[in-house]
Amino acid sequence: MRDYRQFYIDGQWVDPAIPNDLDVINPANEAPCAVISIGGQSDVDRAVAAAREAFESYSRTTRQERIELLEACVAVYRERYDDIAVAIREEMGSPHTFAVEEQADCGLGHLVEALRVLREFEFEQEMGNTRIFQEPIGVCGLITPWNWPVNQIGCKVAPALAVGCTMVLKPSEVAPLSAWLWSEVMHEAGVPAGVYNMVNGDGPGVGTALSVHPDVDMMSFTGSTRAGVAVAQNAAPTVKRVAQELGGKSPNIVLDDADLEAAVTSGALHMFANTGQSCNAPSRMFVPAAKLAEAEQIAARAAASVVVGDPADPATTMGPVVSKLQFDKIQGLIQQGVDEGARLVAGGTGLPEGLEKGYYVRPTVFSGATNEMVVAREEIFGPVLTMIPYDSEEEAISMANDTVYGLAGYVQSEDLEHARRVASRIRAGNVKINGQWGGYAVPFGGYKQSGNGREWGEHGFADFLEIKAVEGYGD
């Protein structure tokens, strides 16, 4: 079992101020796979002090110095890539192939992208006799979730390093193993002492201590909308910047001219990827009412094709959800869907056949739902697809936007111009046409209660920068 009870502060591994052990549970077998410490105020104070001291020198490093540092981070991450994939498999039950090809790739992808942007980013520009500077904002508190652990660490730490900020990371206590390995990568790459710090802990303890800390200049948070509101409230008295990527209940509009077989199959399998534990998952599928019966059969076949089982088995395509807490929540919401009158096309409550241990959920498809049902409004965060019929395109667009969330949207059509017109009307920060993905340079973030600010690529630099205008700078 891994012993990860230390924190990474000021360039070294240190013991917590007060011992407070927590077992990390492997969701595939319900057994402890590691032990960490839960930090507190003293640990946060120590980490923030280190970051504040390091900011004075690191914020004045040259572009070339930071380029060389990120190049070193990329090189070490490549060396530790397989270790990180295994850690993600253990901590959150990600199937091995998915952990290698998708989860672990995110950390590398964001480092490489930040390096690309840094090489050409314009930190200064002229405006008449004024020079506009973009400068590092200061000490950053970073709070990351368990569902895409290295992805969210990478898309925060990489741009913060690139622009000259220092930071304290609080990864999820549910899935902290990959964060430990990330910290080893930072150390081995030669990140200067105090620039990057990591303290494990929970939201009420370490998360709150970071959010309220007067020496933290900005908070970058990814997680639930409920927790995001708490971070913003805690940060308000010190008027620190808060960037948030929060929940979602993303619509997937299958237009009448779509290839129904391809659209429904890809939409359902996307929903089951990562065991449905993605904030941008296409959880509401809007289907023309006349084609609903056919779409149900297609979705049922897609669900049946999913291989649920041991994440270490190469044949597995869907692992468990991350914890018993999540398992119980999902089971309750599936039952609520049944009670509300949604038609169960595939899956349902209980463990998948042949599995008696682990937090496994059956790939589930509801159909004939209305947009007012709980399964169509609440973020389930599990492999549960809700199919909703529509009579007109206007109705589909209206229902798609009838949500407090606005993180992502999906449009399926064989007519690209048609898809573009519908995509332009979806109130969400990221819309995919026919499942296309734009890569790590594309901005990611949401409208409404799905957050504010943008991560990834050049847009991801903005939240870590302050703007200074020096008038009279020119001749």
Question: Are 329 and 207 in a shared domain?
Answer: no
Looking at the structure, do residues 104 and 125 belong to the same domain, yes or no?
yes
Domain count, the chain: 2
Distance of CA 258 to the CA centre of its chain: 29
Are residues 264 and 233 located together in one domain of the fold?
A: no
Q: Which residues contact 82 (CB under 8 A, 6 or more apart)?
A: 100, 104
* pLDDT, tens digit (0-9, with 9 covering 90-100), for 97-135: 999 999 999 999 999 999 999 999 999 999 999 999 999
Q: Identify whether residues 190 and 334 lie together within a single domain.
A: no
What is the structure's pLDDT at 198?
Answer: 98
DSSP string of 261-305? HHHHHHHHHHHHGGGG--TT---EEEEEGGGHHHHHHHHHHHHHH
Contact 373, 333 (CB under 8 A): no
Q: Is 65 helix (H, G, I), strand (E, B) or coil?
A: helix
- Over residues 442-453, the pLDDT tens digits come to 999 999 999 999
| Inter-residue contact 434 to 106 (CB < 8 Å) | no
Q: Do 279 and 376 reside in the same domain of the chain?
A: yes
Same domain, 47 and 166: yes
pLDDT for the residue numbered 273: 98
CATH of the domain at 154: 3.40.605.10
d(CA 156, CA 298) in angstroms, rounded, equals 38
Q: What is the CATH number of the domain that holds 388?
A: 3.40.309.10
119 contacts: CB under 8 Å, gap ≥ 6? 63, 67
Q: Contact 448/404 with Cβ under 8 angstroms?
A: yes
Q: Is residue 173 domain-shared with residue 208, that is, in the same domain?
A: yes
Q: pLDDT tens digits for the chain (475 residues)? A: 999 999 999 999 999 999 999 999 999 999 999 999 999 999 999 999 999 999 999 999 999 999 999 999 999 999 999 999 999 999 999 999 999 999 999 999 999 999 999 999 999 999 999 999 999 999 999 999 999 999 999 999 999 999 999 999 999 999 999 999 999 999 999 999 999 999 999 999 999 999 999 999 999 999 999 999 999 999 999 999 999 999 999 999 999 999 999 999 999 999 999 999 999 999 999 999 999 999 999 999 999 999 999 999 999 999 999 999 999 999 999 999 999 999 999 999 999 999 999 999 999 999 999 999 999 999 999 999 999 999 999 999 999 999 999 999 999 999 999 999 999 999 999 999 999 999 999 999 999 999 999 999 999 999 999 999 999 998 7
Question: What confidence score (pLDDT) does residue 474 get?
Answer: 83
Q: Are residues 235 and 272 both part of a single domain?
A: no
Enzyme catalytic residues: 245, 279
The reply to whether 233 and 262 lie within a common domain is no
**Within the chain, how many helices (H) and strands (E) appear?**
14, 21
Expressed as residue numbers, the domain containing 423 is 251-440
pLDDT digits (tens, 9 = 90+) for 140-150: 999 999 999 99
b/e per residue, 250-261, with b = 16+ CB within 10 A? bbbbbbbebebe
265: its two tokens: 């199959």
Question: Hey, what amino acid is at 462?
Answer: A
The first and second tokens of residue 470, run together, are 């020096």
- Output the pLDDT for position 206: 98
Question: Strand, coil or helix: what is 348?
Answer: coil
Query: Residue 339's closest CA among 374, 308, 305?
Result: 374
Distances in Å between the alpha carbon of 66 and those of 36, 323, 340, 342? 31, 38, 55, 54
Angstrom distance (rounded) from CA 192 to CA 72: 12
Same domain, 269 and 138: no
Helix 149-163 × helix 177-188 angle, to 10°: 30
